[in-house]
Structure 1
Amino acid sequence: MPESSARSRMAEALRHPVALWTAPALIYLAVRQVGLFVLQLVVEFQNKTTGKADTSVDNLRSWDGEWFLGIAQGGYDDVPQRLTDAAGRRTAETPLAFFPGYPALIRWVDGLPGVDVVGAAFAVSLVSGLFCAYGLFVLGRVVRDGSVPAGLVLVTLFAASPMSVVLSMTYSEATFCAFAAWALVGVVKKRWILAGVCCAAAGLVRPTAAALIAAVGLAALVAVIADRRDWQAWVGGLVAPLGLLGYLAWVSSRTGDLSGWFGVQQRGWGSKFDGGAATWEFALGHLGNPRSVLETGTVWLLGFAIVLVFYAFQRRLEWPLIVYGIGVLVMDLGSNGLMNSKARLLLPAFTLLVPLALVLARRRPSTVLTVLGFATLFSAWFGAYSLAVWQYAI
Structure 2
Amino acid sequence: MTDLDARPGRTARRTLPGAAPALLGYAAVRALGLLALCVWSAVRDKDAYTLLTARWDSLWYARIAEHGYGYEIRLPNGDVHADLAFFPLLPWLERLGQAVTPLSYADAGFAAGTLASFAAAWGIFAVADLLYGRRAGVCAVLLWAVLPVGIVQSMAYSESLFTALAAWSLYAVLTGRWVAAGTLALLAGLTRPVGLAVVAAVWAAGTASWRRERGARRIGPSARRRSAAPEPGARPTPYAPSPARAPVREGAPVGRRALGMLLAPLGTAGYVLWVGHRTGEGPLGYLDVQAGWRNGFDGGYAFARFVGEKFTSFPSAVAGAALAAGVALVIRLYVVCVRQRQPLPLLVYAGLVTALALCASSYFGSKPRLLVPAFPLLLPLALALARLPTRRSVLVTAGAAVASALYGAFWLNGSGPP
8 Å contact from structure 1 (residues 298, 342) kept in 2: no
Q: How does 1:143-158 map to 2 (within 5 A)?
A: 143=131, 146-158=132-144
Alpha-carbon distance between aligned partners in 1 of 2:63 and 2:254, rounded to the nearest angstrom? 43
Alpha-carbon distance between aligned partners in 2 of 1:43 and 1:284, rounded to the nearest angstrom? 33
Superposed displacement of residue 314, structure 1: 2.2
Q: Does 1:58 align with 2:70?
A: no
2:258 to 234, 237, 240: 234
Long gaps (5+) in structure 1:
1-15, 48-53
What secondary structure does 1:155 align onto?
helix
- The 1:360/1:298 distance shift into structure 2, 3 A limit, reads same
Counterpart residue number, 1:284: 308
Encode CA deviations 1:229-273: one digit per residue, 9 max, x unaligned. Answer: 522221111111110011000000011112111111112x11111
Q: Does 1:29 align with 2:27?
A: yes
Larger CA Rg, structure 1 vs 2: 2
Long gaps (5+) in structure 2:
1-13, 215-252
Normalised by the length of structure 2, the TM-score is 0.81
2:187 to 201, 204, 229: 201
Encode CA deviations 1:339-365: one digit per residue, 9 max, x unaligned. Answer: 011111110111111121122112111
Q: How does 1:1-394 map to 2 (within 5 A)?
A: 20-47=18-45, 54-61=46-53, 62-77=55-70, 79=71, 84=73, 94-143=82-131, 146-227=132-213, 230-257=254-281, 258-267=283-292, 269-287=293-311, 289=313, 290-291=315-316, 297-390=322-415, 393-394=417-418
- The 1:298/1:342 distance shift into structure 2, 3 A limit, reads farther
- The 1:117/1:222 distance shift into structure 2, 3 A limit, reads same
Alpha-carbon distance between aligned partners in 2 of 1:86 and 1:24, rounded to the nearest angstrom? 45
Alpha-carbon distance between aligned partners in 1 of 2:139 and 2:346, rounded to the nearest angstrom? 17
Encode CA deviations 1:139-170: one digit per residue, 9 max, x unaligned. Answer: 11111xx1111111111111111211111111
Alpha-carbon distance between aligned partners in 2 of 1:345 and 1:378, rounded to the nearest angstrom? 20
Alpha-carbon distance between aligned partners in 2 of 1:88 and 1:147, rounded to the nearest angstrom? 53
Superposed displacement of residue 20, structure 1: 3.1
What secondary structure does 1:225 align onto?
helix
Alpha-carbon distance between aligned partners in 1 of 2:111 and 2:319, rounded to the nearest angstrom? 28
User: Greater RCO between the two (CA within 8 Å, min separation 6)?
Assistant: 2
Normalised by the length of structure 1, the TM-score is 0.86
Alpha-carbon distance between aligned partners in 1 of 2:388 and 2:189, rounded to the nearest angstrom? 37
Counterpart residue number, 1:7: none
Encode CA deviations 1:283-324: one digit per residue, 9 max, x unaligned. Answer: 222355453988765543332211101111222222221111
Alpha-carbon distance between aligned partners in 1 of 2:403 and 2:181, rounded to the nearest angstrom? 33
- The 1:130/1:215 distance shift into structure 2, 3 A limit, reads same
- Of residues 297-306 and 157-166 in structure 1, the stretch that sits farther from structure 2 once superposed is 297-306
What secondary structure does 1:111 align onto?
helix
Counterpart residue number, 1:51: none
Identity of aligned residues (%): 34
Alpha-carbon distance between aligned partners in 1 of 2:299 and 2:266, rounded to the nearest angstrom? 26
